[in-house]
Amino acid sequence: MASKKPNVIFVLGGPGAGKGTQCVRIAEKYGYVHLSAGDLLREEAAKPDSSLGQEINEHIKNGSIVPVAVTCKLLENAMKKSGKENFLIDGFPRNKDNVDGWKQAMDGKANVQCVLFFDCDEKTCVARCLDRGGKGSGRTDDNEESLKKRIVTYNESTRPVVELYEKDNLVKRVDASKDVDKVFQDVQHVFNNLKS
Ligand code: UP5
Ligand code: MG
């Protein structure tokens, strides 16, 4: 991390809402570093010497949430390693425990600028993930069984996190059911009006 307190934008939304796709574009246009919590967990699990691999893989397949200490540490390390100061944290925090764990580890060390919420209906989310799975995404959770569980976790645990941040007026909602370019138009509107 840079010496200045880093800015963080949490990026939330259902499975397949388009978080990753839009973060790539945001990173390119606005110079934020894109950190996908899911990607960091998958990378960690793929390491042959990782003691956490099996546990992480089970959570991913079941759509359940990895203990916050693990995810938070991976995020903090990636932030430090980048040496940058503006971050998109994609797919985290996913539940109240994640919010609390982040606060405990990062309070005073990072400034949460806003929560970018990609709002997308369940049917569209599932169809996108199944389509991606069919094209050989290699993701162990792009199948109907895992998706049912991912949707339940999202509705029960992650939506309440969005509501929590809504109370602090931090949520920027974007309709993520439109096509990629249209969603990015709305995203740009958010970023062009963002106070640092
Ligand atoms: N696509 C994207 N946008 C589109 C659009 N506007 N119109 C049409 N198609 C669109 O997109 C998904 C697919 O849809 C792609 O094929 C894309 O081309 C197309 P993507 O941008 O990948 O969507 P995203 O929202 O990133 O979907 P993802 O599947 O990555 O979301 P999840 O939140 O389910 O997955 P994540 O990787 O964040 O987490 C996976 C698992 O890791 C979790 O279930 C959990 O078990 C674990 N996890 C934790 O435990 N803790 C964490 O903090 C994070 C993850
Ligand atoms: Mg993603």
pLDDT, tens digit, for every residue of 31-90? 999 999 999 999 999 999 999 999 999 999 999 999 999 999 999 999 999 999 999 999
Domain boundaries, the chain: 7-184
Span from the CA of 129 to the centroid of ligand 1 (angstroms): 8
Which ligand has the minimum distance to the alpha carbon of residue 94? 1
Mean pLDDT on 176-188:
98
pLDDT(14) > 90: yes
Say which DSSP state 182 is in: H
Q: What is the ipTM of this complex?
A: 0.99
Which tens digits make up the pLDDT trace of 26-43?
999 999 999 999 999 999
How much is the pLDDT for 101?
A: 98
What mean pLDDT comes out for the span 7-12?
Answer: 98
What pLDDT shows up at residue 72? 97
**6 Cβ closer than 6 Å to some ligand 1 atom:** no
CA 122, chain centre distance (Å) = 17
Q: Cα–Cα distances in Å, from 97 out to 69, 102, 112, 147?
A: 10, 8, 17, 22
Alpha helix ranges (H) inside the chain? 19-30, 37-46, 53-62, 68-82, 96-106, 122-134, 144-153, 159-167, 180-192
Rounded to whole angstroms, the Cα distance separating 159 from 117 reads 10
> Does residue 178 have a known ligand-binding role?
yes
The number of the ligand nearest the C-alpha atom of 12 reads: 1
CATH topology classification for 7-184: Rossmann fold (3.40.50)
113 pocket-lining for ligand 1 (C-beta < 6 Å): no
